[in-house]
A and B are shown apart, each in its own frame.
Chain A
Amino acid sequence: MVKRLSVVDVDLCVGCQSCMFACNRRFGEAGLGRSAIHIQSAGGIERGFVVRVCRACPDPPCSKVCPTGALIRREGGGVRLNYAKCIACGNCVRGCTLGAIFWDVELDKPTVCVYCGYCAGFCPYGVIRMEEVA
């Protein structure tokens, strides 16, 4: 079954960013530069947090604006990035309505969720979880 990361309840988020660090550790690295999930406050900590991550749209705008067909639609929703085809133009970053495509400076390529769910294992408050795409 095709899965995606789902934000269960954003009000449970405490802003610890453990998910961001987890995403970066997929590459065996510490820090934040390669993370495909982003947590920021909703205009100040007192207002809570925003989770920016790919929601695996069934008809993804990022794929439509990719001039080289590097962002391949995944069956059931979402995209897969073909790094060989990507020319690092950044259209997808601007094209994502949710702002859920980031930039990996090390590779000089976009970074987008691969729906692996590793981050969800480090969210102690159940803000995010993997779910099957209906």
Chain B
Amino acid sequence: MAGSENAGDLSRILYVDLARRTYWVEERPELFTEHFGGAGAGIRLLSEECPQGTDPLSPKNPIVLAVGLMNGVFPLASKTVAMFKSPLTGNLGESHAGGRSSIAIRMAGYGAVVIRGKSESPVYLTIDEDGAKFRDASALWGMNSASTVGRIIREVEPGAGVRTIMRIGKAGERLIPYAYVTTETYRHFGRLGLGAVFGSKNLKAVVVSGKKSLKFKDPKAYRALYEELFNTFCKSPLMCKYHELGTPMNVLPLNMTGSLPSRNLQSNRFSGAQELSGENMAEKYLGRRTACAHCPVSCIHIAALREPYESEPYFYKTKMISYDYEPIYALGAMLDLKSPEGYLKLMDTVEELGLDAMSTGVVLAWATEAMERGIVKESDAGGLALKWGDHDTYIKAAKRIVSMENEFFQALAKGVRYASSKYGGEDFALEFGGNEMPGYHTGPVAHLGYLTGARHSHLDGAGYSIDQRMYKEGLKYTPEYAAKELFEEESWRQVLSSLVVCYFARGVYTPEAVSRCLRVLGLERSAEDLKERGRAILRQKYAFKYREGFSLRDLRIPKRICETPTPLGSITEEMIRAGLEEFERLVMG
């Protein structure tokens, strides 16, 4: 039953065992008071649950879905953190998603859900305040489109408006190590292969719903602080920036400075930037903007694509396809697709299959260059001639990755690191710690950050933004400066992703503001305490990574990033290696 509880009393962990079809709740208040939930709780739970050396696709790999103290309480605290061992990198797997996921988990009364074991047959979970139910998912297994799965569950399960429906597509079922989990159709736990971990457990979907109400010792103080924060967000430039054009507003500025990787980073400029710019996409295709629950920004941009049926005259369908900067980079710029329709069709295919758009784009870009250089032949690809800008062929290739129809596509299905180790072409295999490259070639710090980031994501330490600041202020790269900035930024982001606040809100949720929010929740933490906590969480992630065999010294640096200049000039391997050493000193410290 939906009851009330004190907002600061988050402590319940729902454990689900898929093999035995049981669940239970454990009270773990310290995960929230000491570690704030989210990433802080997630890494502790993962370290407990995942034995050293676990095969990521074995039943022993747990799935942790964690929220934090600020979810459902303050605006823009709208994210859920997933922790698992990644089948793509073989190491720490962490991915964040919005939609309604965090509100649903929090309002069902849980701080985290831990999913163990493997179901004998396809299953989906429904979770509410009373616990978990195991539903037969045999009829949903093998469906062509992940959105159909969402449609069906939406009809047969209660909780419209206060639930999240996380699900996988075929890619997850077929254990592609860069398969996503999608939620509310357009938001994703995209990176590092959570979808394959779902698939390996025969877990098709997780539905969570809840409607709790949370009390405060001082309700007036809560209301006053909420109103102040809400008004600050509504007046801040981020609101307008992310609402109007969304993340694709970055296409033109990044292209102009020569930071937008195109044709597998053979170029730092994309000739289709104008067509795929946020401005053009909004003007010609934007059909709807939507928001995550409890976030007024509404950055999600959905294009309406009207397509004719070829079999019948005057007969059309309109598809609603989301677009963001990263997929435009990976499936647009990297593949040199200049037509928005072509890009949207490929995006739609990738969504339906259940693949991470970023990894898929980088994999296809590598494959195209490999074919261009004769490392692989058309015959390897079953007669498919991959060519820059040819979206129809890329759509076929994406489907063949998921069907893994021959040796070549089986290799691509394992990611760029594996494919290049098999066929050669490592120099232009754009992977960092096993994860495919994000869309910023802004300078050395971006790349250093892909290597040092605990998730090998551009969002870990936001190196691109450090590069951009150096560019603006005319600063020169030094390994000490770069490593320090990355370490401090990634550390602070651990606090945000523990609470769990969307990074778009980072300008408002300063250490001081977070400290005020926690006080309303009954926790006294100074800004300095918070920062120290962030460093501790990052070090704990690193402890997990090293336990599982990671080493900053063993990282491969793709030659290609040194061949194509950045706005800050050319990168050398020495620059990056020196930065890695500095970072190692900080993170081990």
Residues of chain A at the chain B interface (Cβ within 8 Å): 14-18, 21, 24-25, 27-34, 38-41, 43-46, 48, 105-106, 122, 124-125
Contact = CB atoms under 8 A, between A and B. Distances in A.
Interface string B62-82: 000000000011010000000
Given A40-B161, A48-B288, A29 B230 contact: no
21 contacts: A14-B289, A15-B293, A16-B295, A16-B297, A17-B103, A17-B161, A17-B294, A28-B215, A28-B220, A31-B213, A32-B107, A32-B162, A32-B211, A33-B3, A33-B213, A38-B161, A41-B160, A45-B184, A105-B211, A106-B3, A122-B296
B72 A44 contact: no
A15 to B, nearest CB: 5
A18 B296 contact: yes
Contacts of B186: 45-46
A30 B218 CA distance: 12
Contacts of A24: 213
Contacts of B3: 33, 105-106
B298 interface: yes
A124 B292 contact: no
A120 to B, nearest CB: 13
Interface SS of chain A: loop
B75 A18 contact: yes
Contacts of B219: 27-29
Which of B7, B107, B213 counts the most chain A CB atoms within 10 A?
B213
A29 B154 contact: no
A29 B215 contact: yes
Given A25-B226, A105-B2, A33 B234 contact: no
A105 B185 contact: no
B288 A31 contact: no
B350 to A, nearest CB: 17
Given A29-B4, A33-B2, A105-B2, A46 B216 contact: no
Nearest to B75: A18
Given A30-B214, A46-B302, A124 B234 contact: yes
Interface string B1-26: 11110010000000000000000000
Contact of B293 (A17, A29, A34): A17
B223 interface: yes
B185 A25 contact: no
Contacts of B226: 25
Interface in B167-222: 184-186, 211-216, 219-220, 222
A106 B162 CA distance: 17
Given A31-B214, A32-B72, 15 more contacts: A14-B296, A15-B293, A16-B296, A16-B298, A28-B215, A29-B215, A30-B73, A30-B214, A30-B216, A39-B161, A44-B154, A44-B185, A105-B1, A106-B4, A106-B213
Given A40-B160, A43-B154, A44-B151, A21 B2 contact: no
Contacts of B239: 124
B160 A32 contact: no
Contact of B213 (A27, A41, A43): A27
Which of A33, A34, A125 counts the most chain B CB atoms within 10 A?
A33
A99 B191 CA distance: 39
Given A33-B211, A44-B150, A44-B185, A14 B291 contact: yes
A45 B290 contact: yes
Contacts of A14: 289-291, 296, 298
Contacts of B162: 32
Contacts of A30: 7, 72-73, 213-214, 216, 222
Given A41-B160, A124-B239, A46 B185 contact: yes
B320 interface: yes
Band of interface residues on B: 35 or more
Nearest to B162: A32
Interface of B: 1-4, 7, 72-73, 75, 103, 106-107, 147, 150-151, 154, 160-162, 184-186, 211-216, 219-220, 222-223, 226, 230, 234, 239, 288-298, 302, 320
A16 B216 CA distance: 23
A17 B76 CA distance: 11
A45 B288 CA distance: 9
B536 to A, nearest CB: 27
Which of B1, B7, B290 counts the most chain A CB atoms within 10 A?
B290
Contacts of A44: 147, 150-151, 154, 185
B185 A31 contact: no
A18 to B, nearest CB: 5
B294 A16 contact: yes
A15 B299 CA distance: 11
Contact of A34 (B150, B151, B213): B213
Contact of B212 (A27, A31, A43): A31
Contacts of A48: 288
B183 to A, nearest CB: 10
A41 to B, nearest CB: 7
Closest CB pairs A-B (n = 8): A28-B219, A40-B161, A33-B213, A46-B320, A16-B291, A14-B298, A105-B2, A30-B214
Given A43-B154, A45-B185, A29 B294 contact: no
Contacts of A21: 72, 75, 294
A61 B271 CA distance: 61
A117 to B, nearest CB: 15
A30 B226 CA distance: 10
Nearest to A123: B296
A123 to B, nearest CB: 8
B223 A25 contact: yes
Nearest to A105: B2
Contact of A31 (B75, B107, B150, B290): B107
A28 B217 CA distance: 10
Contacts of A43: 151, 154
A41 B150 CA distance: 13
B384 to A, nearest CB: 31
Given A24-B213, A27-B213, A28-B220, A16 B293 contact: yes
A57 B225 CA distance: 35
Nearest to B234: A124
A32 B104 CA distance: 10
Contacts of B185: 44-46
A18 B154 contact: no
Nearest to A26: B223
A18 B234 CA distance: 12
B107 A29 contact: no
B292 A16 contact: yes
A78 B578 CA distance: 70
